[in-house]
Amino acid sequence: MPDVDPVIARALRGVFDPCCRDKGISVVDMGLLHRAQVEDGVAHVDLLLTSGWCPFAARVLTDVEAAVAALPEVDTADVRVVWDEPWDASRLSEDARSKLRFMPAPAQVADREAFITSKLMRQEASR
């Protein structure tokens, strides 16, 4: 993430994606952080949402703004959502990827029917 100030990234590791709070996945690990720079005391933070229907967009913006504004070098925080670039799973950190990959990308599934059968059996076994 070349456009991300590491100080801001560090601060945002304590801000969780609300859908993933129970898994301890931060907005940074989710790959939501697109750009974050501080210029003359103003922090400019751009976020990507995993989905245009993200039900927590407002809360994420508020939490990110509060965390960034609390930094000593920041007077005010300008937090925005970027709409013209899609989020995709490649933005996940390794840690988040290991916790979240609910369904694999189709290209990683050699045999769809065999995959489904195997997953169903694992699900049954875990009950």
Partner 1 sequence: MIGDAFVFDGVAHPFNFEEGNAYGPPGQMFSNHLYAFHAALTPPTEPVMPSAEWLHKWSIDEIGEMIYDHSDTDMLVAMPLPLTDLFRDGLSPWQECARLAQRDPDRTILWGTVNPLEGKKALDDVTRQVEEYGAKAFKFYNVRYEDNGPVPWRMDDKQVAFPVFERIRDLGINLIGVHKGVPLGPQPIEYTQTWDMDGAAANFPDINFVIFHVGLPFIDETCWQLIRYPNLFASLAASLNFIVRAPRQFAEVLGKLLFWCGEDKIVYGSEAPLWQPQWALRAFWNFQIPDDMCAGYGYPQLTDQAKKKILGENLLRLHGMDVDATVTRLGRKPAHS
Residues at the site binding partner 1, with contacts judged by CB under 8 A: 18-19, 50-56, 83-84, 86-88, 102-103, 105-109, 112, 116, 119-120
Q: How far is the CB of 78 from partner 1 (least distance, A)?
A: 19
9 or 19, CB closer to partner 1? 19
For residue 36, the cross-strand partners are: 4, 45
Characterise 32 by phi-psi region: left (phi > 0), alpha (psi -120 to 50), beta (else).
alpha
Rounded to a whole number of angstroms, the minimum distance from the CB of residue 82 to partner 1 is 11
24: left (phi over 0), alpha (psi -120 to 50) or beta: left
Q: Minimal distance in Å, beta carbon 24 to partner 1?
A: 18
Q: Are 78 and 44 in contact (CB under 8 A)?
A: yes
Residue 94 or residue 124: which is nearer to partner 1 going by CB?
Answer: 124
